[in-house]
Amino acid sequence: MSQTPALKAVLSISGASCQGCAKKIRNALAPLTGDPELVEVNIERQTVALPEGVDLSEAARILAETGYLAESAPPQRTESTLHSSRDQVHLAVTGATCASCVNTIEKALLSVPGVTQAHMNLADNTATATGAPNTASLIDAIKSAGYGASEIEDEDEAEDRRQAEDRKQYKALMIKMAVSLGLGLGLMIWGMGFGSMMVSGDNQITWFNLGILTLGVMIATGGHFYIGAWKAFTHHNANMDTLIALGTGTAWLYSMVVVSIPEALPATARHVYFEASAMIIGLINLGQAMELRAKGKTSEAVRRLLDLRAKTARVLRDGEERDIPVEAVLKGDHIRVRPGEKLPVDGVIVEGSTRIDESMLTGEPMPASKAEGDEVSAGTLNTHGSIIYEATRVGSETALAQIIKLVKKAQGSKPAIGRLADKISSVFVPSVMLIAVATALVWYNVGPEPAVVHMMIAATTVLIIACPCALGLATPMSVMVGVGKAAEYGVLIRQGDALQTAGKIDLVILDKTGTITEGHPTVTHIHALDGDDRRLLALAAALEQHSEHPLAEAITNKARQNKLPLESVTGFEALNGKGILGQINGQTLRFGNRRWLEAEGVSVVSLTDAAKAITDEAGTPLYLAIDTDVLGVIGVADAIKADSQAAIERLHQAGIKVMMVTGDIDATAQAISAKAGIDDFRAEVLPEDKAKVVNEMRAKGHTVAMVGDGINDAPALAAADVGFAIGTGTDVAIESASITLMRGSLHGVPDAIEISQATVNNIRQNLFGAFIYNSLGIPVAAGLLYPLWGILMSPILAGAAMSLSSVTVVSNANRLRFFKTSQRSEQHTESN
């Protein structure tokens, strides 16, 4: 039976800009609600929802003292009556060490009511639950699975805390490594040089004492493995800790049996392996420390983005300038930025002009000129003049904050190629344990004497050498580095699957206006049949002043430059993909393409030569008619971007075909295609039919990328295998695409494809290495080489190999940090 949503009391607030603010508000209002989780804060809507019955005036007073203005708002209903629910909850997870842990945690999260999707990222130890999750239930589910969890409310604070904990853990692991390896090596040297690794009446007491010492060191330096194994056992799971605990525990226990009752075993079987237990733990600790250090390098891209943020802003309030924390900046504030300073928030310049370095956001190396009326972004660097600008987006709304959010989300996503590892990891540890048991039985029954020693060594080695950790890290480490590398090039990858699919693209479909061209058309030709070009332009501009199309701006700007008076228009109507119409002095004016006017009974044959002159220069002819009489034609051209041809050539070099889809006439489309080097084009395509072209190409077996920037491109972007939105375009287009190009250049498309291919190849290398390592290592550990050459692997060597496998995966992923696209490599070569 469904629960009736509870009525909530709501306050409208101002000044809350991030999850840190939300946390502060929850804690401040906790005395009124009894639990901070009962306070629901919506940063986007700037509202605070409280349980019914809470004194709103008291809540508003508390918020004012905390620094947030508040007033009553209409009550709202909410599905949660106990804890706050959001579309997505991010959690910091502790205790996860391998792919089996990831699988267990994701299953635990999916078992929580309301969760539709769950993902655990072993690379940064975070988990994300999507749907309508209850935060407290998610944390309880992870804890019940044997791991620790806490909600990430402030991403920045969480990142700083994670780095501090990583540094602390690294030091602790290195100390533990030194202690356990020191003991293990000491025992080995003493046993081989001065004593004997075989127990006898002379050294039995000594070995017993050393066994107790070894146990103490194992607990002190490897206690986290045994605790993790015990938690997994009590929750009916098994993970990497299980294998380590069983392997080292078996070696120590066997050695203690030898020391305690040596007479129960044959003389040849009275060998102790205390040094193996200690050294295995030491080597694994060393491997984890090296892995931790290498992991830290994979998140450098996000750290660089975080470092772009200014800490303070110089705000003009009450006639004076004052420096305030960037969190305190409000929309509408006027901010002064001097040369060499970072911009603290997004806004629009109201005074001054300058050049701003936007390379950290867009990948564009040259500073951009900015003047009054131009938009500027947080995190960019003012390189030249002093400006004053008005804040339009602050806190989590800034472009930089959204980029960081997108990068982190993409880094935590899982492409299809990584799901193979998930399937294997779910059965990996139990399978290894069964193999170890089978190995022990084979050696005990058919192995040479002393059978019990060979049995113990082989089984222990199998348990130690198996490495689910390498499987768990193979995909997320590469994804983290690949997504970060893409961000450096101004390419924002929103989904893990897009990262994988981009490398398979064999056909790129381009919109024309704003994608291939500048998106700022200008009037190039005016041809009136009666010779009155000014009247023709004035009538066209009178219609176009009511339109928002890019071509309309070109027409009206031209009329404004010529200081032409514009008549009033009634009954204005815009027909998508055709043109516009309206009435002036009772007469119907139509202004649009040839096909539409001819369909309306207007003959344009008399303007054929004039139209050809326009299309020969890659312009678009627009015809003006009164009723059914054509008056003339106006040519509008949109210049091809300076680097479009070079970007298209890069796609050709990669073996990718390029097609243009445009609503423009055939002659204009043909001229632009020829200039830009495009393979094929479709002209006079209505906006709603662009998606049909994409689906047609996909049906022919192509892996299709669609690149666009307008609202009319959104269906096609969504229909493509990978949608690329030009970051200078509309929000609708950006939301419909899986990859966003922060700068307007088409070079972002081949950049994204090259980074995708490099990342997927890196993932494949990691998975291949992890699979081959385990496929070869486990049989060799079980004794595969013994019948041939009498070789039986030592558990110590197995421990070193296991640690090395994880470090190798992480190190291989870090190679992506040095990857350069073909364009960047060419620029570097030319500069040298």
Active site residues: 511
Q: What is the DSSP letter of 85?
A: B
DSSP H/E element including 679: none
- Characterise 287 by phi-psi region: left (phi > 0), alpha (psi -120 to 50), beta (else): alpha
Those residues whose C-beta lies under 8 Å from the C-beta of residue 708, and which sit 6 or more positions away, are: 510, 511, 514, 515, 690, 714, 716, 717, 723, 724, 725, 726, 729, 733
- Which whole-number Å values give the CA distances from 375 to 64, 239, 347, 368, 678, in the listed order? 32, 52, 6, 11, 32
Helices 300-307 & 399-411, crossing angle to 10 degrees? 170
- Characterise 236 by phi-psi region: left (phi > 0), alpha (psi -120 to 50), beta (else): left
C-alpha count within 13 angstroms, C-beta hemisphere, residue 155: 20
Q: Mark 164-198 as b/e (b = at least 16 C-beta within 10 Å).
A: eebeeebeebbebbebbbebbeebbeebeeebebb
- Four-residue CA torsion sign, 20, 21, 25, 26: negative
In angstroms, how far is the first alpha carbon of the chain from the final one?
72
Angle subtended at Cα 405 by Cα 402 and Cα 406, rounded to the nearest 5 degrees: 85
Token match 């700037």: residue?
A: 46
Three-class secondary structure of residue 595 per DSSP = helix
Q: What is the DSSP letter of 516?
A: I
CB 458 within 8 A of CB 701: no
Token match 């094929």: residue?
A: 680
Those residues whose C-beta lies under 8 Å from the C-beta of residue 228, and which sit 6 or more positions away, are: 95, 97, 146, 239, 241, 242, 245
**In whole angstroms, what is the distance from residue 351 CA to residue 438 CA?**
79
Q: What is the DSSP letter of 416?
A: G
Pairing of strands 739-741, 722-726: parallel
- Which whole-number Å values give the CA distances from 403 to 163, 309, 490, in the listed order? 21, 12, 10
Q: What are phi and psi of 332, to 5 degrees?
A: 95, -15
In 3D space, the residue among 275, 257, 767, 242 whose CA is nearest the CA of residue 463 turns out to be 242
Helices 666-676 & 608-616, crossing angle to 10 degrees? 20
By the 10 Å C-beta count (0-12 exposed, 13-18 middle, 19+ buried), 232 is classed as: buried
CB 361 within 8 A of CB 399: yes
CB 533 within 8 A of CB 729: no
Three-class secondary structure of residue 370 per DSSP = strand
**In whole angstroms, what is the distance from residue 460 CA to residue 436 CA?**
7
Cross-strand partners of 527? 633
- Which whole-number Å values give the CA distances from 126 to 148, 185, 210, 420, in the listed order? 11, 37, 41, 20
In 3D space, the residue among 35, 139, 49 whose CA is nearest the CA of residue 90 turns out to be 139
DSSP H/E element including 582: strand 579-584
